[in-house]
Amino acid sequence: MDLTAFLIQVLNGVQYGFLLFLVASGLTLIFGIMGIINLAHGAFFMIGAYLAYSLTALVGNFFVAVLLGVFVMVAVGYLIERFAISFLYRRDHLYQVLLTYGLILVFNELQKIIWGTDFHSVPVPALLAGSVPLGSTQSYPIYRFFISLVCLAIAAGMYLVIARTRLGMMIRAGAWDREVVQTLGINIGRLFAIVFSLGAALAAFAGMIGAPVSSVYPGMGDQVLIISFVVVVIGGIGSVKGAFIGAMLIGLGDTFGKVLVPNLASFVVYALMAAVLLWRPQGLFGRGT
Amino acid sequence: MTATIFDPISRRTLLGTGAAAAGLATAGSIVPFRLAIGAQAKVRIGILLPYSGTYAMLGNAITDGLKLRLAEAGGKLGGREVEFVIVDSQMSVPKAPQNTQKLIAKEKVDFLVGPVHSGIAAAMAKIVGRAGNPIMIVPNAGSNAVTGPLCAPNIFRTSFSNWQPAYPGGKVMADDGHKTAVTIAWKYGAGIQMMAAGTSSFEKAGGKVVKDIQVPFPSVEFQANLSEIASLKPDAVFAFFSGGGAVKFVKDYAAAGLKEKIPLYGPGFLTEGVSMAQGAAAEGIKTTLHYADNLDNAANKAFRAGYKKMYGKEANVFSVQGYDTGSLLLIAMDAVKGDSGAKKAMIAAMEKAKIASPRGDISFSAAHNVVQDIYLRKVVKGHQNLMGVVAKQLVDPARGCRLT
């Protein structure tokens, strides 16, 4: 592999990592702060992609559609937290797993009823439709760079909110010790509702922003869910920084795995996970027990 | 969608409907044999197809095609009413044996239609072939083994073997003047078998496959592989993906700027049923398959019009396969006048079947795989337009089949 090819592959890996981070960050928030294993995260991702498809067709502008879609998903996330998940905080994890698994079935069925089983796609917005030549044969779509920028902005935004704001302080405190936070007079129920809505909206946002380079089809969230869990586990449960580093590791690992050891490509990310867990069982940035 | 997913239909209800139908049947001249011994009056067709996940569109298209054909024939098979027992395969290979057993032993279906996935096909064929019952018709899964080592008297296939649409594709690439190629496909039965078939004909015609890229199934992250293709600079690329993966691969391929420099070829699944979603990225891609939208024959015109009228959307190759499965069921049941117990007579009739299908004339080989023309098609404004016939009445080699 010459230097140009190597750099292009690095770019591919980082790019994929950004996408993974976007999905995994919402999962790690919900997982780490609320202790909820949200299996429906992939379903939110899928619904996001379908919303991008429908709303773009409806309003004629991709960016407006994404904005609308985020509001819809915040509302959906809020309702799900209030009317389903909030009853299960005191129960065993198994109940939460059952509930969120049930949500997958509900969303899959809803998707079939509303959108049917055909394949759809979302056009790349005209503003970002071009591409940049890279090496002698390949070129890189501008939209992919745009996705990376958006992911960077989201990562920076999340960092600022969590490290610098009052809400962020409450989120961090809630993740650390729920009871103490409650005795300090913070409404933990409302905090959880906000976190869950944000997490759901992040997953859906990832589905929406990725829709123009992906395709929109039933069950598209399943694979995303698994790889997101890998990212979260590598990074350390509840750590947004960990999710970022984990996503980059997986993005690069998967890319170079495919090129260098094609026969083992599907194992590379899991081998990476196993290696990290052997070294640090709590994940890269997880709190030790 | 009639979702009769193993509802506990009691024996009593079945006998009840049976008795009612018996009253009607005595008015006619045909008294089904099975009815005489007090079993069921309706012909029971077990369907095992995906209705959820990536391949849900395929399951629905096949079912729609099948139902259209039966509706055209008055909704009856050999004079008997039809009852579907529909099971969602969920594309799960581990669940396949259990689902198959349930349909055979518990639901006692007369016919079994399915599946879409090659892995599930192998699991089903093992069970059904060994049991010798019921008659199974494969309406999609191309696994060469089903009409190869696993072939059996009671297993037929109306769709294709993985070898069939892929083999002529390699020659097309060579005929277009390409000397080197990269093959890329999902690493599972269909992908591996199709790439092997395409490679063998391409190399026979003087070409050389410089690299075979296998992508883990069902991963749709192709960027690393596309960069690899760009650095290898072959004359052409031969690819198999289907469904959501096909949409993404073709779009990514174009977005990476490769489409104009390195033409893309492959078995028709690359664009079939998904070219609308692929949009401009699919325009002009040449593929080989056993169907094209604008085939000029009476059966195709009637079929496409009827399909559009009944379902409000365009038909594709999967609906054709379901439709022809219906035709084969009609031939079998007409030959025995509705006596679904007469397996041998039905199989004999199916072996001799000649169907004027929307895809052209088809018949069946000694291994019970469909014999059909393979067409070269090109995507024009989202449609799969005919460019010519690349293989006339192509017979799968059926390696390892004892029936031949």
Is residue B399, in this structure, part of any structural domain at all? Answer: no
Q: Are residues B152 and B188 in the same domain?
A: no
> Is B243 within 8 Å of B277 (Cβ atoms)?
no
> Is A31 within 8 Å of A225 (Cβ atoms)?
no
Instruction: Provide the residue count of chain B.
Output: 404
Domain ends where: B260, B289, B318?
B289
- Please state, in angstroms and rounded to a whole number, the distance separating the CA atoms of residues B384 and B178: 23
Q: Are residues B38 and B126 in the same domain?
A: yes
A89, with CB counted inside 10 A (0-12, 13-18, 19+), is middle
Q: Are residues B39 and B120 in the same domain?
A: yes
Nearest CA in chain B to A211: B248
Beta-carbon separation of B247 and A219 below 8 A: no
Check whether B157 has a pLDDT greater than 60.
yes
Contact of B214 with chain A, judged by CB distance below 8 Å, is answered with yes
Contact of A266 with chain B, judged by CB distance below 8 Å, is answered with yes
pLDDT at A180: 86
Beta-carbon separation of A1 and B231 below 8 A: yes
Q: Are residues B206 and B276 in the same domain?
A: yes
Contact of A241 with chain B, judged by CB distance below 8 Å, is answered with no
Beta-carbon separation of B261 and A141 below 8 A: no
Look up the domain containing B241 and give its range: 163-289
Q: How many domains does chain B have?
A: 2
pLDDT at B59: 94
> Is B43 within 8 Å of B83 (Cβ atoms)?
yes
| End-to-end Cα, chain B, rounded Å | 39
Chain A hits for B251, CB-CB cut-off 8 Å, are: 121, 213, 215
Per-residue pLDDT in tens (0 to 9) along chain A, 289 residues: 688 889 989 999 999 999 899 999 999 888 877 888 899 999 999 999 999 999 999 999 999 999 999 999 999 999 999 999 988 888 888 898 999 999 999 999 999 999 988 888 898 998 898 888 887 788 888 999 999 999 999 999 988 998 899 988 888 888 778 788 888 888 888 888 999 999 999 999 999 999 998 889 888 888 889 999 999 999 988 788 899 999 999 999 999 998 898 888 888 899 999 999 999 988 888 775 4
Check whether B204 has a pLDDT greater than 90.
yes
Contact of B262 with chain A, judged by CB distance below 8 Å, is answered with yes
Asked if the bond preceding B218 is cis, omega within 30° of 0, the reply is: yes
What ipTM, to 2 d.p.?
0.86
Calculate the average pLDDT of chain A. Answer: 89
- Please state, in angstroms and rounded to a whole number, the distance separating the CA atoms of residues B1 and B18: 23
Beta-carbon separation of A219 and B225 below 8 A: no
* B60–chain A nearest CA distance, Å: 8
For residue A153, the tally of other CB atoms under 10 A from its CB is 10
The pair of three-digit structure tokens given for residue A115, joined into one six-digit string: 């959108």
Chain B hits for A222, CB-CB cut-off 8 Å, are: 53
Nearest CA in chain A to B262: A137
| For chain A, domain boundaries | 14-116+128-279
Buried/exposed B250-287: b ≥16 CB within 10 Å, e otherwise: bbbbbbbbbbeebbbbbbbbbbbbbbbbbeebbbebbb
Question: Which regions of B89-245 does DSSP assign to beta strands (E)?
Answer: 111-113, 135-138, 155-157, 180-186, 208-215, 236-240
Q: Are residues B215 and B360 in the same domain?
A: no
In Å, how far are A102, B204, B332, B365, B367 from B147, measured between CA atoms?
Answer: 39, 24, 19, 9, 6
Q: Are residues B147 and B282 in the same domain?
A: no
Angle between helical axes of B317-335 and B343-351 (0-180°, round to 10): 130
* B99–chain A nearest CA distance, Å: 20
Q: Choose from A20, A53, A105, A118 for mutation: most chain B CBs within 10 A.
A: A118
Q: Are residues B226 and B355 in the same domain?
A: no
Angle between helical axes of A221-235 and A3-29 (0-180°, round to 10): 90
Written out in words, the top-level CATH class of the domain with range A14-116+128-279 is: mainly alpha
Q: Are residues B150 and B170 in the same domain?
A: no
Is residue B6, in this structure, part of any structural domain at all? Answer: no
Q: Are residues B151 and B168 in the same domain?
A: no
CATH number at residue B37: 3.40.50.2300
- Please state, in angstroms and rounded to a whole number, the distance separating the CA atoms of residues A160 and A176: 19
Q: Are residues B304 and B271 in the same domain?
A: no
Give every CB contact of residue B300 below 8 A, 6+ residues apart in sequence: B358, B359
Q: Per residue in B30-86, pLDDT tens?
A: 444 444 444 448 999 999 999 988 788 999 999 999 999 999 999 999 999 999 999
Buried/exposed B309-348: b ≥16 CB within 10 Å, e otherwise: eebeeebbbbbbbbbbbbbbbbbbbebbbbbbebbeebbe
Q: Per residue in B363-389, pLDDT tens?
A: 999 999 999 999 999 999 999 999 999
Check whether B286 has a pLDDT greater than 70.
yes
pLDDT at A34: 82
Is residue B401, in this structure, part of any structural domain at all? Answer: no
* A118–chain B nearest CA distance, Å: 5
Q: Are residues B167 and B143 in the same domain?
A: no
- Please state, in angstroms and rounded to a whole number, the distance separating the CA atoms of residues A82 and A80: 6
Beta-carbon separation of B52 and A108 below 8 A: yes
Q: Per residue in B124-144, pLDDT tens?
A: 999 999 999 899 999 999 999
Beta-carbon separation of A119 and B214 below 8 A: no
Q: Per residue in B317-364, pLDDT tens?
A: 999 999 999 999 999 999 999 999 999 999 999 999 999 999 999 999
pTM of the model: 0.86
pLDDT at B55: 85
Tell me the backbone φ, ψ of residue B338, rounded to 5 degrees: 90, 0
Q: Are residues B277 and B176 in the same domain?
A: yes
Contact of B3 with chain A, judged by CB distance below 8 Å, is answered with no
